[in-house]
């Protein structure tokens, strides 16, 4: 099916992608740009660029349906650590590196594989439908690079009850985080509102007005003095669940989560071995490096009321092995 349009004089000066995003129903500008890049959009019978400025008389043809069919998650046999399960819910210890669910704007092969949802569909016979075909059972999320506890609803009644507890701030969520530097206070509350960054849309920020309320409490568990620098190991509790909340709040204090390059953490930690081999010329001294291919952020515990019985439930999971190994490496003196 081909959609055709005729640009008018009022459209003169508009970008091609901007024009089509406004004239195609329920189609994002990202999807329009994809169609243009794939050569599926012709202007006066010729392939054009998304940045083309219209003159106001062009014939524009979109050669395939602009809207993609709805995506349904599919079951995949992916191992899961199921911490708890009954007829209404399950609690999963999600590993870092796993998306909770696919993103609607991703490419077909990328957005519907190896997610927590794919694994859930394999392990459980039924999941709630409140979140739609792409997010069955998903009541809340963790970032891909964050590990820890996630609650999953098996039916719509449980889903609504749990969602109500989240919105009513009855769910207690505690995290362990390692950040760069030593925080000035041993404990504090960060209450800066959070909004999407105007320039880098994948980031959130505390620097824009009109953001959503966000409340994060932290307590310093340990201050680490290492040849790689100073670090603070924190216990973190959140009252709200905004996108990237802990990460952006701690980064706003100048203390990004270790491994979180999106919010300013270095990709590699380095220390010159001159600290332990001062007798050799500096040029001959190799540099020691340490890196963490994930964020040092772990959802360690969660408390909530069972949606049917009302009993208060609490689940705890320790830091995964890769975080323990990294922390031990930081604490170890260089020789």
Interval 46-70: pLDDT, tens: 999 999 999 999 999 999 877 766 5
Residue 286 has pLDDT above 70, yes or no: no
Structure-model confidence comparison of residues 254 and 24, the more confident one: 254
pLDDT digits (tens, 9 = 90+) for 97-119: 999 998 655 445 555 689 999 99
Instruction: Please state the rounded mean pLDDT for residues 109-133.
Output: 87
Distance in angstroms between the alpha carbons of the first and the last residue of the chain? 69
- Selecting among 26, 143, 156, 305, the annotated active-site residue is 143
Q: Is the pLDDT of residue 335 over 80?
A: no
Give catalytic status of residue 143 as yes or no: yes
Closest CA to 232 of 269, 179, 294, 185: 179
CB half-sphere exposure, 285, CA atoms < 13 A:
16
Phi, psi of 225 (to 5 degrees): -100, 115
Among candidate residues 222, 215, 241, the one with its CA nearest the CA of residue 296: 222
C-alpha distances (whole Å) from 145 to each of 27, 73, 135, 148, 321 are 29, 21, 19, 10, 15
pLDDT at residue 301, as a whole number: 98
Mean of the pLDDT values across residues 141-158? 97
Coil, strand, or helix at residue 116?
helix
The pLDDT value recorded for residue 276 is 41
Query: CB–CB of 253/239 below 8 Å?
Result: no
The tokens describing 57, both together, are 């008389």
CA distances from 91 to 140, 141, 154, 246 (A): 12, 12, 11, 21
- Across the chain, mean pLDDT equals 90
* Residue 13 backbone class (left: φ over 0; alpha: ψ -120 to 50; beta: rest): left
Percent of the chain with pLDDT over 90: 77
Contact 120, 100 (CB under 8 A): no
Of the chain, the percentage scoring pLDDT greater than 70 comes to 90
pLDDT score of 71:
63
Contact 148, 294 (CB under 8 A): no
Bridge partners of residue 176, in order along the sequence: 235, 298
The C-alpha atoms of residue 194 and residue 210 are separated, in whole angstroms, by 8
Count other Cβ atoms within 10 Å, centred on residue 81. Answer: 12
Phi-psi region for residue 37, left (φ > 0), alpha (ψ -120 to 50) or beta?
alpha
Cα 175 to Cα 221, 244, 307, distances in angstroms: 12, 13, 23
Using only C-alpha atoms, the chain has a radius of gyration, in whole angstroms, of 25
- pLDDT surpassing 60 at residue 281: no
pLDDT for residue 26:
74
Lowest mean pLDDT among 112-126, 154-168, 276-290: 276-290
CA–CA dist 54, 7 (Å, integer): 8
* Nearest partner of 192 among 177, 210, 180, 175, judged by Cα: 210
Q: Give the number of residues written for the chain.
A: 335
- Closest listed residue to residue 87, CA positions, set 269, 306, 330, 290: 306
pLDDT in tens, 233-268: 999 999 999 999 999 999 999 999 999 999 999 999
pLDDT for residue 285 = 45
Cα distance between residue 192 and residue 204, in whole Å: 12
Residue of 126, 116, 123, 118 whose CA lies nearest to 87 = 126
């Amino acid at each position: 099916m081909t959609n055709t349009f005729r640009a008018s004089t009022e459209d003169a000066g508009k970008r091609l992608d901007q024009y089509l995003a406004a004239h195609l129903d329920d189609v994002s500008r990202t999807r329009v740009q994809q169609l243009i890049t794939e050569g599926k959009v012709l202007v006066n019978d010729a392939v054009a660029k998304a940045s083309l400025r219209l003159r106001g008389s062009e014939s524009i043809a979109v050669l395939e349906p602009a809207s993609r069919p709805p995506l349904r998650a599919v079951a995949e046999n992916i191992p899961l650590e199921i911490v708890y399960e009954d007829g209404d819910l399950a609690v999963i210890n999600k590993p870092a590196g796993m998306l909770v669910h696919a993103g609607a704007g991703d490419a077909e092969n990328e957005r519907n594989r190896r997610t927590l949802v794919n694994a859930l569909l394999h392990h459980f016979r039924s999941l709630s439908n409140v979140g739609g075909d792409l997010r069955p059972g998903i009541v809340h999320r963790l970032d891909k690079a964050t590990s820890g506890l996630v609650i999953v609803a098996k039916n719509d009644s449980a889903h609504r009850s749990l969602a109500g507890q989240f919105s009513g701030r009855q769910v207690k969520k505690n995290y362990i985080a390692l950040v760069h530097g030593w925080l000035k206070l041993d404990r504090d509350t960060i209450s800066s509102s959070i909004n999407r960054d105007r320039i880098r849309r994948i980031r959130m920020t505390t620097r824009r007005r009109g953001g959503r309320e966000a409340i994060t409490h932290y307590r310093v568990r340990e201050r680490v003095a290492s040849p790689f620098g100073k670090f603070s190991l924190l216990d973190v509790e959140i009252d709200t669940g905004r996108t990237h909340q802990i990460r952006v709040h701690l980064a706003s204090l100048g203390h990004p989560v270790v491994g979180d390059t999106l919010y300013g953490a270095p990709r590699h930690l380095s220390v010159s071995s001159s600290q332990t081999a001062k007798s050799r010329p500096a040029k001959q001294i190799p540099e020691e490096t340490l890196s963490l291919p994930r964020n040092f952020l772990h959802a360690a515990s969660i408390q909530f009321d069972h949606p049917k019985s009302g009993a208060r439930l609490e689940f705890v999971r320790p830091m995964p092995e890769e975080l323990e190994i990294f922390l031990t490496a930081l604490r170890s003196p260089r020789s």
